[in-house]
Amino acid sequence: MIKVTVLGRASAKPTVTSHPSAQIVNVNEQYYLVDAGEGTQQQMFRRGINPLKLRAVFISHLHGDHVFGLFPMLSTMGLCGRQTPLKVFAPRPFGEMLEFHLKYFDEALPYEVEWVEVDTTKHCCIFENRTLEVWTIPLRHKIPCAGFLFKEKMPELNVHKFKIEKYSLSIAQIVAAKRGEDVVLEDGTVVKNSELTYLPFEPRSYAYLSDTSRSAMAAKRVKGVSLLYHEATYTKEFAKDAKARGHSTAADAAAVAVAAEAERLIIGHFSSRYKSPEVLLAEAKEIFENTQLAEEGETYTV
């Protein structure tokens, strides 16, 4: 199961009610932070999410509204006595920023922060564990920027109980079937794996695409995604500005969801010019019906 908690949906500058970009992606109770605008740690506290739980951090690009909140949180985790190393996946020159922060603010940090450089030009798997893969999605922004695709791995096959009885399968035969192999019975008959097994669930996926101009290539790379978050900074009347600034309109976001054949779309990263983002939602829904606004503090379950 993947749960995405939106901590911020503002672009560039915060407003009275709205924070810059940050999200928590919870995959089978393992927590990952995606981008970290100012106020991220406090937004996490408000949702009862302890930064000490974080397994890794993924930073899409190094504009302040996506990273200013990381450094104060690194300090806080130090004050809280974190000892587990923390991997931060981010593009260059994050290493220099981290070095600077540690030198001036956290010389005695009790845990290691390990920077893993993200090549924003490549589509590849940068993180993997037993149940999850995280892939980079090159984006089109003013500075090097990559989105992230969280993909559950194919679960192990289950063997139908009634087949176990029908063929009185041995432990060894069940294990083989779970591995996807056909089973040869004592009398020599071969039972096809497809007859014995089933998938306990379809692997789910979540794609985070911000900040970016509309990208057909990005859509291709998240094809069939269960839940797509796409930035929608402007309405289409500002399409020119959006393109010039490496951003998207709500219509762009919806078009990417259509091209990607996404199941659901969430839009965010709203310009502060929109007192209410309903106009952005309406624009997107015209093109992709299953669209929701990112709401700060809301959790979206896949």
- Annotated active-site positions, please? 65
* 79 binds a copy of itself per the rule CB under 8 A: yes
* 277 binds a copy of itself per the rule CB under 8 A: no
Per-residue burial over 262-285, b = 16 or more CB atoms within 10 Å of its CB, e = otherwise: bebbbbbbbbeebeebeebbebbb
Binding residue count for a copy of itself, defined by CB under 8 A: 31
With CB under 8 A as the contact rule, the residue among 1, 28, 45, 223 that binds a copy of itself is 45
Instruction: Give CA–CA dist 2/148, Å, rounded.
Output: 14
With CB under 8 A as the contact rule, the residue among 26, 53, 55, 72 that binds a copy of itself is 72
> Among 34, 24, 18, 17, which Cα is nearest to 2's?
24
First vs last C-alpha separation in the chain? 6
Contact 27, 131 (CB under 8 A): yes
* 93 binds a copy of itself per the rule CB under 8 A: yes
DSSP E strand boundaries for the chain: 2-8, 22-27, 30-36, 54-58, 86-90, 113-117, 125-128, 132-138, 146-152, 158-159, 183-184, 190-191, 197-198, 205-209, 227-231, 264-268, 291-293, 299-301
> Which region among 96-104, 129-137, 198-206, 240-248 touches a copy of itself (by CB under 8 A)?
96-104
Helix (H, G, I), strand (E, B) or coil at 145: coil
With CB under 8 A as the contact rule, the residue among 83, 100, 261, 273 that binds a copy of itself is 100
Residue with smaller CB distance to a copy of itself, 12 or 174: 12
CB of 10 to a copy of itself, least distance (A): 10
* 179 binds a copy of itself per the rule CB under 8 A: no
Residue with smaller CB distance to a copy of itself, 20 or 225: 20
Q: Which residues pair with 253 in a beta bridge?
A: none
* 108 binds a copy of itself per the rule CB under 8 A: no
* 281 binds a copy of itself per the rule CB under 8 A: no
Instruction: Give CA–CA dist 171/150, Å, rounded.
Output: 34
With CB under 8 A as the contact rule, the residue among 21, 23, 41, 213 that binds a copy of itself is 41
CB of 272 to a copy of itself, least distance (A): 9
> Which region among 98-106, 125-133, 149-157, 207-215 touches a copy of itself (by CB under 8 A)?
98-106
Binding site for a copy of itself (CB under 8 A): 12-16, 19, 38-39, 41-42, 45-46, 62-65, 68-69, 71-72, 75-76, 79-80, 93, 96-97, 100, 104-106
